[in-house]
Amino acid sequence: MARFEHHIFVCTNQRVPENPRGCCDPSGAAFLQLRFKKELASRGLTDTVRANKSGCLDQCEHGPTVVVYPEGVWYGGVKPEDVAEIVESHIINRTPVARLLLAEECINTVSCAHKFRRKAE
């Protein structure tokens, strides 16, 4: 046992409801991260895989956002009911869940078509 084989960061950032970018964890209860923790525990994976809270990952328009390192796989719109599939397919069977992947042209890109932009006054 040494470094984590997979380190899952689950955005738990909050913003005020009227913020146009939205946020990944409006309730502040970290339900999604807890769901990952429980799923990993139930499969005996906690020695090698960690599900961490993270601050804002800056992909707010695609939230709730999750990134898995070291492979750098980004997921968007992740719901608690997706967690078992991510753990089964990605973590155990090394096959990322295609339907939840953030599009390459959206990850950390100012040109992302979904990104909120303030209108010129």
Extract the runs of DSSP E, i.e. beta strands, from the chain: 6-11, 49-54, 66-69, 73-75
CA distance 83 to 103: 19
Helix (H, G, I), strand (E, B) or coil at 87: helix
Residue 115 touching a second copy (CB under 8 A): no
Q: Which is nearer to a second copy, 17 or 72 (CB)?
A: 72
| Nearest to a second copy of 87, 107 (CB atom) | 107
Measured from the CB atom, the residue of 9 and 75 that comes closer to a second copy is 9
Q: Which residues are paired to 50 by β-bridges?
A: 7
Q: Which residues contact 3 (CB under 8 A, 6 or more apart)?
A: none
Which listed residue (50, 61, 80, 96) binds a second copy by CB under 8 A?
50
Positions touching a second copy (CB under 8 A) are 1-4, 7, 9, 12, 33, 47, 50, 52-58, 67, 69-72, 74, 104, 107-110
